[in-house]
Amino acid sequence: MFGVFWCILTRDLTLALRRGTDVLTTLFFFVIVVSLFPLGVGTEREVLEELGPGVVWVAALLASMLALERLFAADYEDGTLEQMLLTFQPLSLLVLAKIAAHWLLTGLPLVLIAPLVGMQYHLSDTAIWVMMLALLIGTPVLSLIGAIGAALTLGLRGGGILLSLLILPLYIPVLVYGAGAVTVSRIEFTDTQPYFALLAAFLLVALVFAPVAASAALKISLE
CB nearer to other proteins: pick between 9 and 195: 195
Site residues for other proteins, window 164-183 (CB under 8 A)? 165-166, 168-170, 172-173, 176-177, 180
Please, are residues 101 and 12 in contact by the beta-carbon 8 Å criterion?
yes
CB nearer to other proteins: pick between 106 and 153: 153
Q: Give the N- to C-terminal CA distance of the chain in Å, as an integer.
A: 25
CB nearer to other proteins: pick between 113 and 144: 144
Binding other proteins by CB under 8 A: which of 56, 134, 152, 182? 152
Q: Spell out a b/e string for 97-115, using b for 16 or more CB atoms within 10 Å of the CB, else e.
A: bbbbbbbbbbbebbbebbe
Binding other proteins by CB under 8 A: which of 57, 76, 121, 195? 195
Binding other proteins by CB under 8 A: which of 190, 200, 204, 207? 190
Q: DSSP characters for 129-178?
A: HHHHHHHHHHHHHHHHHHHHHHHHTTT-TTHHHHHHHHHGGGGHHHHHHH
Site residues for other proteins, window 22-41 (CB under 8 A)? none
CB of 95 to other proteins, least distance (A): 14
CB of 223 to other proteins, least distance (A): 7
Task: Mark the segment that binds other proteins (CB under 8 A) among 5-13, 96-104, 118-126, 192-200.
Answer: 192-200
CA separation (Å) from 43 to 81, 83, 121, 157, 170? 47, 52, 9, 40, 31
Residues in the chain: 223
